[in-house]
Amino acid sequence: MIPSQLAGSPAEQVLSILQRQGTATVKDLGDALGVTATAVRQQVAGLLADGYIQQEIERAGRGRPRHLYSLTPKGRALFPHHYDEFTNSLLREIIVSEGPGKVQELLGRMSRRLAEPYERHLAGLSPAERAAKLTELLNAKGILAEVTFNADGIVFHEYTCPYYELARVHRAICDMEEEMLTHAVRQPVELVACTLDGHHGCQFRIEA
């Protein structure tokens, strides 16, 4: 959770940008925030000192090296992760006693339940409007998401995996999130890029 002293501050905006983009330079951050490099460096210095971000020097050819900033594990932990030790242990016990098929069945039911709270906000909207509205609802919960539109359809991005640690142990969690989005937007959804495979965030393609 974002500490109260950072909530609503420029420092929180820097953290959110890094959560979305993965890495950024001082110039990138300044452009995104609409502030000077000096103002960005002030925020970066504080976040570095607190251990929320880290600096990496990228050297390419003979030019001046670039300083790239990214979140540390402590920084990533500020963003919501909707899992806990009990859930992980429970799924493990179900796999041992009932088998993977039972877990898949359970997560299928969970995906429908997870989509239900959004229904009253999405009723009467087209799939594209549903996807756009859903990003607003997720962002309000602290789950960074956005939607883009192209010729192939709709791409739904989640930059904060709500169940990251749990999904590392049980990849079926990814199927649950995919199915939840399918129920929410009422259109076939396919996971095309996953944080667990080294991508920056998860991407879901929604059929046009």
Instruction: Provide the CATH number for the domain around residue 168.
Output: 3.90.1520.10
- φ, ψ of residue 33 in degrees (nearest 5): -90, -15
* Contact status, residue 84 vs residue 68, Cβ threshold 8 Å: no
Q: Are 92 and 162 found together in one domain?
A: yes
Query: Global pTM?
Result: 0.64
> Range of 202's domain?
85-207
Q: What are the tens digits of pLDDT across the range 49-69?
A: 999 999 998 877 677 788 999
The counts of H helices and E strands in the chain are 10, 6
Q: How far apart are CA 162 and CA 158, in angstroms?
A: 9
Instruction: Out of 89-103, 113-127, 166-180, pick the least confident.
Output: 89-103
| 176-194 average pLDDT score | 93
DSSP state of 82: -
In this prediction, residue 82 carries a pLDDT of: 56
> How many domains does the chain fold into?
2
Whether residues 95 and 192 share a domain: the answer is: yes
Say if residues 15 and 2 touch (Cβ distance below 8 Å). Answer: yes
Q: What is the pLDDT of residue 161?
A: 80
Q: Are residues 44 and 140 in the same domain?
A: no
| Spatial separation of the C-alpha atoms in residues 98 and 103, rounded to whole Å | 8
